[in-house]
Structure 1
Amino acid sequence: MKIRELISQYCDKTEKKGNGITIYSGTATEPIETPELFAYMDFLSDEPSRKIWHSDDYRMYLTQIDGKITVYEHVRLANYRIQLLDLKEKYGEKKEMELPDLADAFAFASREHENETRKSGTPYISHPMDVASILLKENASHELVLAGWLHDLVEDTDVDIETIKRRYGEQVADYVDAVTEPEELRQAADGDKTQNWKDRKEYTVRKMTRANSEVKLLSCADKLANIRDLISDIRMEGEGFWDKFNAPKEDQEWYYRSILEAFATGPQNIKDTRAYRDLEECVEQLF
């Protein structure tokens, strides 16, 4: 059954909230089946009294609790994420390992990036710290924040995706893999990073255009952390700082504007997130 058919069949009340949420409610005497493009959240459900589903495609979630049907439709992505977090807070079991997991990811990333520095000379671990912080402020999932800590490991160290999967789970590994350049492009970059810079960036723009909202948000946090550092470094060192990059300023502008467009494209766009708006402002400030 499609979600609109379910709403039409079971819901006789509609309430619009000022924060961009529409709530449909009604009753159903029989258990309902999972609607198309929805996923059943078994870890929040308590059969037979409570069932909960969510849909990233529609930015909705659906509950059937003690015979009452409620559909929450979200105009803005942020509302959708916040409401899902509220559901997890209300019905989910507390994950006592979350903070230790984050601490372990920080220690792991710190160790692997130990001998690396940013172009400014600062320790490289400052960048994953910034990315994770941006994601935390977006109320991103635990897995996405972990991926923020770990997102550069495959490209910049000897750590592979299988190691990340074994230590932190398949979802975290999938997020990291989604923002990692393919091996053939990385191998080409080992020879002359300037020569294939455009190929690598064009690949990233194409991939982010088709990515889901979580992957776009992870990539956006990465780009936002980078451009904030760049603005600060140019303020301190002057326009000559551009000479440290593999592409000139005009090519960098093309890339940042193209990736912004990719993040804003399609039903999985992230235009309403703080990270996207901050990145947009930084691009206008820098270029």
Structure 2
Amino acid sequence: MINKFNKAFLKATLLHKGQTRKGTSIPYIVHILDVVSNLIKNGASEDLIVAGFLHDSIEDTSYTEPLLKKEWGGKVYSLVMSNTEPENRISESDSKKVVSWKMRKKHSLEVLPSKNDDELLLFAADKLSNLNDIHADYLVSGNEVFKRFNAPKKEIKWYYSSMIPIFKKRLGKIRLYKEFLVAHKALFE
């Protein structure tokens, strides 16, 4: 298990080398490690933890779907792809298909109820990390932090608030759900 984790950590580090969190100088790998930490704290399987390391690899790097599947197998591939916005994937030619923020987020919310337990936990671990990062930046920059996004604060609040009912129903008994509520309240109330 340790070797698989080390390999996944190394792969994520190489794929996200030079990337930073939106509007900051914080290396992107910090977000990846936060997602993995959220998964481990909530009893995730080995494959789910590996998927946590790789969850943004298709959206945010030049890593390809065939290579992901070949190197990590079908389970990890399926988990990563279940949390990759189809309209936001980087193609092999490095160009992005431009779809509005609102449309992408509406789609991710529409498919949320159909995710299996592991897919939902990966999604929630990622969103908890994002909420915590936005809140930390909000404490320093105030509402300026929302200018980094392709949507106003009201829309960002709508997006994260819309997750709560499905998280409550499916994840309501685990630590991650409770942490998500605290982070949501801290940022938006």
Question: TM above 0.5, one fold?
Answer: yes
Distance in 2 separating the partners of 1:165 and 1:185: 19
Cα pair 1:131 1:225 within 8 Å, conserved: yes
Counterpart position of 2:40? 136
Distance verdict in 2 for CA 1:256–1:137, change over 3 Å: same
Counterpart position of 1:112? 15
Cα pair 2:128 2:179 within 8 Å, conserved: yes
Q: Answer with 1 or 2: which has the greater Rg.
A: 1
Distance in 1 separating the partners of 2:77 and 2:3: 18
Amino acid at match of 1:100: N
Distance in 2 separating the partners of 1:201 and 1:162: 25
Question: 1 or 2 for the larger relative contact order (CA 8 Å, sep ≥6)?
Answer: 2
Amino acid at match of 1:190: K
Distance in 1 separating the partners of 2:2 and 2:57: 21
Counterpart position of 2:30? 126
Residue correspondence of structure 1 range 46-65 to structure 2 within 5 A: none
Distance verdict in 2 for CA 1:192–1:180, change over 3 Å: closer
Give % identity. Answer: 36
| Pairing 1:220–2:124 present | yes
Unaligned runs of at least 5 residues, structure 1? 1-97
Distance verdict in 2 for CA 1:168–1:190, change over 3 Å: closer
- The Cα shift of 1:211 comes to 0.9
**Structure that is richer in helix per residue:** 2
Match of 2:171 among 254, 258, 270: 270
Match of 1:175 among 67, 70, 79: 79
Q: Secondary structure at the match of 2:20?
A: coil
Aligned residues: 183
- The Cα shift of 1:262 comes to 3.0
Q: Secondary structure at the match of 2:28?
A: coil
CA RMSD, 1 decimal: 1.6
Counterpart position of 1:283? 184
Cα pair 2:19 2:27 within 8 Å, conserved: yes
Residue correspondence of structure 1 range 142-181 to structure 2 within 5 A: 142-181=46-85
TM-score normalised by length of structure 1: 0.61
Cα pair 1:117 1:123 within 8 Å, conserved: yes
Deviations 1:96-144 (A, max 9, x none): xx10110111111110100211022211111110000110111110000
Amino acid at match of 1:229: D
TM-score normalised by length of structure 2: 0.91
Q: Secondary structure at the match of 1:199?
A: helix
**Structure that is richer in strand per residue:** 1
Counterpart position of 2:96? 190
